[in-house]
Amino acid sequence: MPTRKGNIYNMINIYTYVKQLDVENGETKRLNCPLCNSYKTFSVTNNMGSLLWNCYKASCSTKGSSRVHLSVDEIRAIQKKQASSKDETFTMPDFIVPHRHRKEIMNFCELWELDIEKVDLYYDVKESRIVFPIKKDGVIVDATGRSINNKLPKWKRYGNSDLPFTHGCGSVAVVVEDCVSAVSVGNDVYVGLAVLGTSLLDSHKRFLSQFSTAIIALDPDALPKTLSFAKELRGYVKDIKILRLTDDLKYRKPIDMDNLINLTQKETQKWN
Ligand SMILES: [Zn+2]
């Protein structure tokens, strides 16, 4: 049981510790937690000179933030990126508007039990689609929209990035079929990654390579796809698990959620 004094001592130490890691702007480092010693549960991100850190282990409360100075080179790189990205970056089309608690979005959230406060949604007023922004380093780089009036395609991609849609900030990746499932499963334990297609792209594998555990949780009838994903991820992720679902994860069947937790607990126990 740490004493109060001990905590303050640790806090001072952690400031020194994270600062000497020299995390560059835009970079995230995943390390063993300096306080609870858990395997790679500690993450430090430098977002434009804001250093944020936290430990994903439920029993460990290590988290904090601090400003760090950006080097002249880093500031130049940001300016250059901002200047060049003006033509390159994705801009939301005019017909895609912020959700503003509009009826269609609220109904969709209610149907899938999504918490509108926890998920960033937009609405395509032209084609009646619920739009999920795809972000990279906190910036919207693409978007995909789910039709709510049976218009085809069911999912429409607006930009041309090959990045996956992800949701959550946990330390275990869960590979799912679509954005709704990714949002359903993503929280501070899991990161839901929606493949949004039939194949696992290099960008998906690169993203997944930062996790030591990935759980593949595709539709129950997609066993060949599941097995091929598991095979493809070898070499990128240390532990690859297959969650045999009884239904798509977005339906949150209690048996599926229990199985997911069991699968994760086995992993967490193994690390400790
Ligand atoms: Zn910790």
For the stretch 231-260, pLDDT in tens is 999 889 989 999 999 998 889 899 999 999
Low-confidence ranges of the chain (pLDDT < 70): 1-12, 81-88, 266-272
Residue 267's nearest CA partner among 243, 250, 231, 235 is 243
Alpha helices in 61-214 (DSSP H): 72-88, 103-112, 179-185, 202-208
What's the gap in Å between 64 CA and the centre of ligand 1?
12
- What pLDDT was estimated at residue 87? 44
For ligand 1, the distance from its centroid to the CA atom of residue 78, given in whole angstroms, is 31
Q: 137 CA distance to ligand 1 centroid (A)?
A: 23
pLDDT given for residue 165 in this prediction: 94
Is the distance from CB of 83 to CB of 89 less than 8 angstroms? no
Return the pLDDT at 48: 83
CA 34 / ligand 1 centre spacing (Å): 7
Of the candidates 159, 269, 166, the residue with the CA atom closest to the CA atom of residue 211: 166
What's the pLDDT at 267?
Answer: 53
Give the per-residue pLDDT at 13.
80
What is the pLDDT at residue 137?
Answer: 81
Cα(63) to ligand 1 centroid in Å equals 9
| pLDDT for res 161 | 87
* CA 170 to ligand 1 center in whole angstroms: 13
Phi, psi of 60 (to 5 degrees): -110, 130
Cα–ligand 1 centroid distance for 181 (angstroms): 28
Cα 158–Cα 230–Cα 261 angle in degrees, nearest 5: 90
Q: Give the pLDDT confidence score for residue 86 in this predicted structure.
A: 45
Q: What is the pLDDT at residue 8? A: 57
Give the distance (Å) from ligand 1 centre to CA of residue 210: 18
Distance 38 CA to ligand 1 centre (A): 6
Residues near 77 by beta carbon (within 8 Å), at least 6 away in sequence? 25
The pLDDT, as a whole number, for residue 271 is 47
**Rounded to the nearest whole angstrom, what is the distance from the C-alpha of residue 37 to the centroid of ligand 1?**
6
Using the mean position of ligand 1's atoms as its centre, give its distance from the Cα of residue 55 in Å. Answer: 5
Q: Which residues surround ligand 1, an ion (CB under 5 A)?
A: 33, 35-36, 55, 57, 60, 62
